[in-house]
Amino acid sequence: QVQLVESGGGVVQPGRSLRLSCAASGFTFSSYGMHWVRQAPGKGLEWVAAISYDGGNKYYADSVKGRFTISRDNSQNTLYLQMNSLRAEDTAVYYCAKIWAPGTRYFDYWGQGTLVTVSS
Amino acid sequence: EIVVTQSPATLSVSPGEGATLSCRASQSVSSNLAWYQQKPGQAPRLLIYGASTGATGIPARFSGSGSGTEFTLTISSLQSEDFAVYYCQQYNNWPLTFGGGTKVEIK
């Protein structure tokens, strides 16, 4: 069955960096675009970034553009989110999410999330 | 950026009753709208895509309608497991955007 397992979250000071990982299994990872979606404590969902199946196309929310970088390693079935220049408002649970089918932009599987806390 | 607005923010419903949740986009998204359910401490679950197509395994009591800028999620007879927060998401344009959510609580 499909599994997405995020890791790499933690407490980090403002201005520092963190890299999140999402290990995927149970499907042909290299055939699917992947996304990161975050949720601040007690708040709603916010789309963060997307990457095409081959890594050739990337998209970002304005709130993270220039600071975050999405990437993937299809040989390792792993999705990444490099987060630089972190701010307090980046504090959230970060979910990786798999698209329903190639070419779609909604999500049928989500990881359990990893909490990132930006605080001094 | 397309702004997605959900209403009401909270809906109080008795078990067995129906519920109607609304989602409005600031410009047309055609039928490129999805609905998700989220329970406390859990990841969201896909309910509806294409504005009206039920995802795999979703009970028939969940239905979606609408196109353009106005959308509705209807739950025909609320079961105990349906009390949760519901989000709509447009995927017509980048950046993808979610509504702020509607919490369906027990009356």
Residue B82 banded pLDDT, cuts 50, 70, 90 = very high
Neighbours of A92 (CB within 10 A): 22
Write the pLDDT tens digit of every residue in A69-120.
999 999 999 999 999 999 999 999 999 999 999 889 999 999 999 999 999 9
Mutate one of B38, B47, B87, B96 to test the A interface: name it (highest A CB count within 10 A).
Answer: B96
| pLDDT one-digit tens code per residue, A4-57 | 999 999 999 999 999 999 999 999 999 999 999 999 999 999 999 999 999 999
Contacts of A115 (CB under 8 A, 6+ apart): A9, A10, A92, A93, A94
**C-alpha distances in angstroms, B77 versus B15, B40, B60, B71?**
7, 21, 10, 19
pLDDT > 70: percent of chain B: 100
- Residue whose C-alpha is closest to residue A107's, from B46, B86, B33: B46
**B90 has a chain A CB within 8 A of its CB:** no
Residue burial A38-72, b: 16+ Cβ < 10 Å; e: rest: bbeeeeebbbbbbbbbebeeebbbeebeeebbbeb
